[in-house]
Amino acid sequence: MGNQSAQKGEQLRHQLKKVHQQFPEIIKEVRGKGLFTAVELNRRALFPVTAYDICLRLKERGILAKPTHDSIIRLTPPLSVSSEELQEGTKALHDVFELDLPKMQKEKPEAVPPTTSDVCHRCGRNLGGGLACSVKGLEFYDFVTEAYYLDAGEGSK
C-alpha cells in the first residue's frame, strides 16, 4: 500500500506541476509525500481571493480540499483513487484558476492587499491588519488530522 500511495502521489504532483507551469504567478509550490499533497498559492496574485474561496469552487466541481493559512490547498485523495480521478481533480483546479478566479477577484474587491505583517508570527493565520492572533497564549499547528496545542507557559501537548 505504501508503494501505491507513493506512486499515485507522484502522479498527482506531476499533474499539479503542469498546472503550476500554466499559472506560475498563482502557484508558488507543489509539495507532498504519498497522497498528502499541498499546493501553495501566491497571496498577492490571488488577492482578495483566499485558498478557502478556491476550495469552495473546487467543491462545486466535485473535489474536496482543505484550505490552510489562506494560501495553501491540501489535497488528500483516498488510496482507492484512480488515475482518471486524479486527472479530473487536476483539471478542476486548472479550470478554477482559468475560469473562476478572474470573476472571483472582481466580485470580491478589497482596499489593500495583505502584507507579510498581516500574518500572525505564531500560527500563520491572516490577521486582516491586526497585530496578534486572537488566541492568547496558545499556538495551533494543524498537521493532517492532529492539532497540537502548546501552552505558552508549560510547553505541554
Question: For residue range 96-151, what is the model confidence (pLDDT) as tens digits?
Answer: 999 999 999 998 776 455 555 565 655 555 665 555 555 444 444 333 333 333 33
pLDDT at 71 over 60: yes
Burial 3-19 (b: 16+ CB within 10 A, else e): eebeebbebbbebbeeb
Cell of 12: 498527482
Q: Which residues of the chain are in CATH 3.90.1150.10 domains?
A: 2-107
**Any idea what DSSP says for residue 38?**
E
For the segment(s) 2-107, the CATH number from 3.40.47.10, 3.30.1540.20, 2.40.30.260, 3.90.1150.10 is 3.90.1150.10
